[in-house]
Structure 1
Amino acid sequence: MDAAFTVLNDGVLYIDRGAIVAVQARAAPPPPGFEAVAPVRTEGTLLPGLIELHNHLSYNVLPLWSPVPRRFEHRGQWPDHPDYRRLISGPMTIVGTWRDAQGRAALLAPLVRYVECKCIVAGVTTSQGIMLNSNAGVQRHYRGILRNVEQTDDPDLPEAKARIDDVEARNAQAFLARLNKQGESGCFLLHLSEGVTPDGQADSLARRHFLALRVAADTWAINQRLAGIHAAGLLAEDFAVLGGHGGAMVWSPLSNLLLYGATARVDAARRAGVRIGLGSDWSPSGSKNLLCELKVAWLVSQQLLGGLFSARDLAAMVTRDAAAILQWEAALGSLEPGKRADLLVIDAHTGDPYEALLRARETDIHLVMVNGVARYGVPSLMAALGAGGGETLRVGGRTRRWFLAQDSGDPDVAQVSLAEARRQLRAALHDLPRLARELEQAPVRRATLALDAPEPVVWSLALDEIRPTGSELRPRLPFEAPDDFTGPQTALRAAAAPLSTVLAPVRLDPLTVADDPDYLARIAAQPNVPVPIRSGLAAFYGVQATPPPQVNTGPGALPAAQPH
């Protein structure tokens, strides 16, 4: 797949030092320097690595909120529900801050290892990063094997801004100045208009967060650098503004449906020329991975929007178009000479390759390569590509191999295998009440230091949804009053009872749908998700969905969607 969607039915990809040298028919002579190199036969379909434009990776150790207890109207409501602290913010507070007997943040490295692997096992090569805070007031991202849109260390891949300083979120004029700042590149991936505006209604709290971007009559704090995450509360006229000013959006349909019973008006977005990417959001109220989110997007398009998007359209949202939103189109998003060798191989030989991607399950992923390095795949391919000695695991009963070594990676994570990360996280989530008591009862640890020695730096997860960090994932511009603020202010209001009295054991979310026997049943029990989406998603995975008793499954119900 090049930028023009050219398909080679029998082709070879030539790679040197992380870059694609040539893409050509197998019958053509090899490019200079490759005459003595025997191509590795994948027996599958090669596609660009999937680019995910939105994911709260830190939370992806948690299982799906099941069922979501009610239909919410906007982002400010569900963090106030008692379930949220018990199932989401409370467990993550413990995981993000718990220290072992030596005062080390012992769960951070296992968490990073696990959630990165959870992306890669589904063909994702790029996602958002994991931010850390320290007691020294310093923030940093973990370096891992997954490409991080916020820290690339590559001049050809301008870094995205997923947070803006509180000061810049005070008014639309200041935010517009930030977007137009000279000498900067890269996009802003910011939550925008999280919630719904029902048909026939011109006002909603979610929409007000978009209207607050208006600077003057025809001036908005929007340009080609802004990608609004969710944008579910926008009306058609708002998408006309967003598209007219060059803005983009990141669509997370399952998360929107789970929480709000509706998703963004992507038909209006498309008519307005808004560029669209995809993101699975997070595991508590979203898809297991981007491969699953592609299926939900297809079902919404086919069952609810009259076939709005083709399979190729959706494949572009996680490859070519996603790269363009990031301003990375010259380096990633398609398989072309000179671009980075980020790719996946799926077990498909015939038919339309984009439909094959939509149908693919985790068990169909045979290889994932990042920057020319084989990171995950079937043992035979990994061995042929020089990465055969790594850790193995079973995915849906099939053996897969990992190559997790990385010289530039975080040294703490390098010491943790995937199996060990899973073991530690399972134990910690099972022991949440005990760990919470230890945090509440333990005195402040003070190491014995020389008088002139600096205080040791201690790291914790920067959980924007739970506590203030000095920056925000969403432009919280005042519209009428501060009462519509969301995020850590809401969470802090609810934090009255000690966590040890609130928490119960939580199950570590399995890496894949293939290895999670409860996932599709939990989706089927979600009251806010339309029946065609629930049953259609189960059909993609070859499972019969069992809807909850209150769902109408009579003659008027739509049939399960089938990919075509």
Structure 2
Amino acid sequence: MVVRAAWKFCLAALVAFGAFADEVATDCVFTAATNADAGLLVGATVLLPEGPRPGHGVHVRINGKVGAVAPFDKLLATYPDAGVLDCRDAAVLSPGFVNAHEHPAYSYAFPHPDRNPGYEHRDEWRFGLNGKPELTVPEPMTHVSGGDPAATARLVAMELRHLIGGATLLAGPGGMPGVIRNVGLQESAEHLALYDAEADMDTFPFSFRALEELAPTCAAGEPIELAATTGGAPAYAAHVAHVGEGRASNCVARQEVARFLALARQGDRRYSLVHGVATSASYFEAMREHDVTLVWSPRSNFSLYGETVDIAAALDSGVRIALATDWSPSGSFTMKEEARCARRATSKAGVALPWRTLWRMATLHGAYALGLERRFGAIAAGAPADMVLVRSASADPHRDVFAASDHDVLASWIGGEATLAAASLEGLAPMGACVALAGLAPRVCGIFAPLGLTPSRFAQLAADSVPLNDMTRQAPCDPDA
């Protein structure tokens, strides 16, 4: 769970050290608060569900929630004592990406050298079935206070990588408290400290060895009864399940989709279908009818199965689509990379996918897939201030959010507390809370000191993990594979 208790202290520091305004060299103008309780105003082109709003601002209250979204000058008049970060002509302010499908415990690892796009069902690479090479699953990393420092460093690196890539929330089992928001089922005291919200992230909804158990029956043309369960999850928790993870030609993968949609017809909870490579056009109609979101991870699909969903049919059907990374052994290292892969996939399918549509997939639709759209995925009054601020670089602010390199990241906030800040904006965090990491442009704020980590120690412990801002070794996104 992300605990952000230093906001009032942060603003007090800004009052005390207001002279730091002269140090800003980001085309932004900072004015310190005259009242530490008055919050912070951030002015930029603000991305809202209804569209971009140039010249607008966001008021962040001292409790870390959005107080108001309005024209910037109106906010200045309403909150005259607040701190002000005015980037109206220089930056885009977006909600952080909601990554609705990750495996945080494993996502520090590079792709397996034997990975190839020739698998027809996920059980082939999991168990080496049908003459296909088995891909060893990386050792899961778990953070325990006073435990393995290397595991902690790898998890921190994994979550920082996603944070730099624009995400403020990861959904999936495992993770690291205090870096990014995590979502999963709260089933232990450790989970209470880790997960900010709940969703049933179900990797094996039907069978741990579905291909072996069901292929003979499927081949005989007999109906398959797949008894999926929600594992005792409460009804308010969305059921976000891996389904149809295999080629469209694979009978078992298709039957998984059919059975899952039969469950979704019950309408007893939010249902979201992860991967769904074997989903056909007729299934998309059922998904739209029964409000089932497709959680799409095209890079992982291409790199393991050589194909992805019929994205043209999915878009035509009007089914809701959320974008997500899966995991580093076969998927994208960040949400920005996943968006680029999605653009390639849709282009190959003859579809021009606007950046605004991708942005909705990465924010609003991701939150909806998790049943958390009232809390995350949008900048709205009363919602947690989970936001990213990047330099304006084009006429399309949605594109700017995806195209931003780490040098373009000016700041990010989770629950109103700065987690990343450009070197000239370190004053957004409490004094001394930000540290510089070798090769990374923004400073990392409020994360290392509570863990007893120094930049040099972190670099040493996480040396074998996927880098924070180097995407060169991720699995290929090849629609022609």
> If the TM-score is normalised by the length of the shorter chain, which range does it land in?
0.7 to 0.9
Hey, what does 1:511 align to over in structure 2? 468
SS of the residue 1:213 aligns to: helix
What is the rounded CA distance, in whole Å, between the counterparts of 1:2 and 1:418 in structure 2? 33
> What code does the residue aligned with 1:8 have?
R
> What code does the residue aligned with 1:371 have?
G
Residue number among 446, 469, 472 corresponding to 1:404 in the alignment: 446
2:168 paired with 1:112: no
Equivalent residue runs for 1:39-188 within 5 Å: 39-42=84-87, 43-66=90-113, 68-81=115-128, 88-89=136-137, 91-92=138-139, 104-131=147-174, 142-150=176-184, 159-163=198-202, 175=228, 178=230, 184-188=235-239
Hey, what does 1:20 align to over in structure 2? 66
> What code does the residue aligned with 1:40 have?
L
Percent of paired sites with the same residue: 22
Equivalent residue runs for 1:76-475 within 5 Å: 76-81=123-128, 88-89=136-137, 91-92=138-139, 104-131=147-174, 142-150=176-184, 159-163=198-202, 175=228, 178=230, 184-198=235-249, 204-213=251-260, 220=265, 225-307=270-352, 309-348=353-392, 350-386=394-430, 389-395=433-439, 399-405=441-447, 414-417=451-454, 419-426=456-463
What is the rounded CA distance, in whole Å, between the counterparts of 2:425 and 2:350 in structure 1? 40
Alignment CA distance shift 1:165-1:83 (3 Å): closer
SS of the residue 1:393 aligns to: coil
Alignment CA distance shift 1:195-1:240 (3 Å): same
> What code does the residue aligned with 2:323 have?
L
1:10 Cα deviation (Å)? 1.8
Q: Residue deviations 1:259-300, cap 9 Å, x none?
A: 111101232223333211111111111111111101111221
SS of the residue 1:227 aligns to: strand
Alignment CA distance shift 1:373-1:384 (3 Å): closer
Q: Residue deviations 1:299-342, cap 9 Å, x none?
A: 212233321x3211110011122222223222221222222100
Bigger radius of gyration among the two: 1
SS of the residue 2:51 aligns to: coil
Does structure 2 retain, via aligned residues, the 8 Å contact 1:379–1:388? no
What is the rounded CA distance, in whole Å, between the counterparts of 1:263 and 1:173 in structure 2? 23
Does structure 2 retain, via aligned residues, the 8 Å contact 1:343–1:369? yes
> What code does the residue aligned with 2:441 have?
T
Greater relative contact order (CA < 8 Å, ≥ 6 in sequence): 1
What is the rounded CA distance, in whole Å, between the counterparts of 1:29 and 1:148 in structure 2? 31
> What code does the residue aligned with 1:24 have?
A
1:231 Cα deviation (Å)? 0.4
1:389 Cα deviation (Å)? 3.6
Q: Residue deviations 1:7-51, cap 9 Å, x none?
A: 22122211012111122222325364x212241134311111111
Question: TM-score by structure 2 length?
Answer: 0.74
> What code does the residue aligned with 2:351 have?
G
Q: Residue deviations 1:141-191, cap 9 Å, x none?
A: 75232111216869xx75111138989999978647x5998x731311111
Question: TM-score by structure 1 length?
Answer: 0.64
2:6 paired with 1:6: no
1:79 Cα deviation (Å)? 2.2
Alignment CA distance shift 1:8-1:167 (3 Å): closer
What is the rounded CA distance, in whole Å, between the counterparts of 2:327 and 2:366 in structure 1? 18
SS of the residue 2:177 aligns to: coil
SS of the residue 1:281 aligns to: coil
Alignment CA distance shift 1:374-1:74 (3 Å): same
Does structure 2 retain, via aligned residues, the 8 Å contact 1:51–1:318? yes
> What code does the residue aligned with 2:68 have?
A
1:390 Cα deviation (Å)? 2.0
Structure 2: unaligned runs, 5 residues or longer: 1-45, 187-191, 211-223
Hey, what does 2:479 align to over in structure 1? 530
